[in-house]
Amino acid sequence: MNDKETKIAVVTGAGSGIGRAVAVELLRGGWSVALAGRRAERLEETAALADEGASLCVRADVSDPDDVAGLFAAVRERFGRLDLLFNNAGTFGPGGVPFEELPYDAWRHVVGTNLDGAFLCAQAAFRQMKEQDPQGGRIINNGSISAHTPRPRSAAYTATKHALTGLTKSLSLDGRPYRIACGQIDIGNAATDMTERMGTGALQANGEVVPEPVMDVADVARTVRHMAELPLEANVQFATVLATTMPFIGRG
């Protein structure tokens, strides 16, 4: 992209994992990227990994409406417009806890981050994309394999990811009059800090703990960039990117 064609993106959860990989991929591809996350030092580390593009680091908790408003105000002030939101910030919550023992505050934390946060960021992005000239933009929600098939003892995470699919579909419809496209990427076993346990063993539906294959997170980042760089007349509604031999299709 040349300067005239530079696109502006917001990536939430950009301090680690998938968010970091996507932010770096976009920056190296010539995008300007606002990196959002709870830890400012991790955002700075992400920005330092890319030697191209322009970055803006904004400490923000996506479950806090005031933080989200501040994030998008900073993007508007710095860049003047917004072309992409990668709604990525999320948490698994406590692992291995039986459903009947899941504390309500743990449930609320997962819902607040994964669902409330996605709603708040999408709403702020939607407003800006609707008001700017030229109008339009793209929202990509980070779903999960769990938006299709849950793991045992993952009620909070799975519920939010199923809800995120509904949000994606609603945004796709509501955005049509304003050239706002919305799609979702469902990811299975990308190698990040959050999925380290997959290599040593993950609880299966039959009660066994079995190591699972993982894939390079860079493959996810390239897929998100492809989705992001389509013209607004085209949209990847749902994409599933997963480690080829992980247990998902059929009986695994």
Q: Which of the residues are catalytic?
A: 157
CA 218 to chain centre: 14
CA–CA distance from 6 to each of 1, 69, 81, 131, 229 (Å)? Answer: 6, 24, 11, 19, 11
Q: Which of 4, 25, 68 is nearest to 218 (CA)?
A: 25
Q: Which of 90, 218, 212 is nearest to 156 (CA)?
A: 90
Q: Which of 4, 149, 134, 27 is nearest to 86 (CA)?
A: 27
Token digits of residue 164: 């995120």
In angstroms, rounded to a whole number, what is the distance separating the alpha carbons of residues 244 and 229? 25
